[in-house]
Every structure is written in structure tokens, then in C-alpha cells.
Homo-oligomer: A and B are copies of this chain.
Amino acid sequence: MAVKLKRKPKGTYHHPDLQGALVEAALQIIRKNGVDSLTLRDVGLRLGVSRTALYRHFKDKSALLARLALEGFRIFHQTLQSAVDQASINKKDPLEEMGVAYVNFAMANQSHYKTMFSDAICTWGDCPDLALEADGAFAVLVNTIAAEQRAGRIIAEDPARLAQVIWAGVHGLATLGMAGHLGNHSDIIHLARHHCHTLFTGLRLAPSKATRRTKSAS
């Protein structure tokens, strides 16, 4: 299959990869002016394509947003996993590093993160692929918790439940941080580290039945 030209010199009626280009263009727009400013007409305009061309590739606006969200979870997944890997290399607390990476991602990609958790997109249950991708990112957290439990560093509660608790903490930091209620970026990162540290101190020992004091093993 011959490669088509990217530009439309004159006879280029069909765009080589409009679907991907639409996602990219939409992403640039929300990066620049926020999710709420995204208009289908602008997306088309930016690609030199008509305002409704989008409808051949997405059912409606929320489908486009869902696609952006999916793309976001992909990168997010990768970012979190990378943070855990780095922690392992540098002998740091993987959960704490992941928490910081989480908040960092949200602060550095505010519009994208907001889109990922927007009410406008279908509830995850309705979009199987989106739910799958989101679950993938969540699994990084669950797996890390399970690993920490196997290493005997945190209490042995249901990992999924613990994951939800930790998730809520960093998600709260992210959303409040983006809203400007927690100070500047570096304030928020410090706060994230503080939060994780405090939370994980709480997770470290069950107060009553803990007999073995695992104070600074190693």
C-alpha cells in the first residue's frame, strides 16, 4: 500500500491518518487552554479539515474525550511502572515514589488528567477498552502493594482495598493541587511525600498484634 502524502496538495481528499491526527490535535488544544475550551470545530480547523469530519471516526464528542482518556491512562500506566522500577533500583520506598510520581503526572498534565476522570466521558464500565487501560494502571499499584506485603513491610490487608485508600489520597492531592488549594507545584510534591509517608507509617504495623518490631531492618 503506497504511502500517501501528508499535505493536501490538491487532490488529497482523504487524510492519511485522520483518527490519530484528531487525537493529537485535541490533545494540543486541551494542553493549551484546558478541557472545557475544546471544541470540535477547532479540532477540525487545526487539521485543515471540516468541522464534522470527526464524526466518521468518533461517535460524538465524549467518544473523542474517552479516547484522550485512554491515551492518558496508557502514559500514566507507564509513568507509574517506571517510578516503581526506579525505586527498586535506587532502594527507595516504591509506594512513596509511586505516590509522588502520581501527583507529579497530574500536575504536569492537568488537562489530560482531568479528562481521564471527567464526568463527560462514559462511565468506565461502558467503555471496555478504557476500563481495561485504567485497570492496567491501577494494577501497578495493587501489585506493588502485594509485593510490599510479601516483603513483610506493610500489613496484610486486602491489597485492592489498600490500593483504593492510597489511590484516594494521591487523587485528592492531585485534584486539590490542580485547583490551586495546596500552594505551588513544589509545595504539592512535598505534601505528597508527606502524605504517603504518614499513610505508610500507619500501614506498617497493626498496633495490637504486632510483636515483632521491624524497626529499620536491613
Query: Which A residues lie at the B interface, using CB under 8 A?
Result: 34, 36, 91-93, 96, 114, 117, 119-120, 123-125, 153, 161, 164-165, 167-173, 175-176, 179-182, 191, 194-195, 197-204, 207, 213-218
Contact B123 A175 (CB under 8 A): no
Minimum CB–CB distance from A66 to chain B (whole Å) comes to 14
Residues in chain B near residue A216, CB distance under 8 A: 92-93, 96, 200, 214, 217
Identical copies of this chain, number:
2
Contact B218 A218 (CB under 8 A): yes
Q: Tell me, in angstroms, the Cα distance from A164 to B87 when the chains sit together.
A: 26
Q: List 16 A-B contacts (CB under 8 A).
A: A36-B120, A91-B218, A93-B216, A114-B119, A123-B179, A125-B180, A164-B176, A165-B195, A168-B169, A168-B176, A170-B172, A197-B213, A198-B199, A198-B203, A199-B199, A217-B217
Minimum CB–CB distance from A171 to chain B (whole Å) comes to 4
Q: Tell me, in angstroms, the Cα distance from A207 to B217 when the chains sit together.
A: 13
Q: Tell me, in angstroms, the Cα distance from A170 to B119 when the chains sit together.
A: 19
Contact A207 B201 (CB under 8 A): yes
Q: Tell me, in angstroms, the Cα distance from A179 to B181 when the chains sit together.
A: 21
Closest 4 CB pairs of A and B: A172-B172, A202-B202, A93-B216, A168-B172
Beyond A180-B123, A202-B202, whether A169 also contacts B167 by CB under 8 A is: no
Residues in chain B near residue A182, CB distance under 8 A: 164, 168
Beyond A36-B119, A199-B198, A202-B200, whether A191 also contacts B165 by CB under 8 A is: yes
Chain B residue at minimum C-beta to C-beta distance from A206: B201
Q: Tell me, in angstroms, the Cα distance from A198 to B201 when the chains sit together.
A: 9
Residues in chain B near residue A123, CB distance under 8 A: 179-180
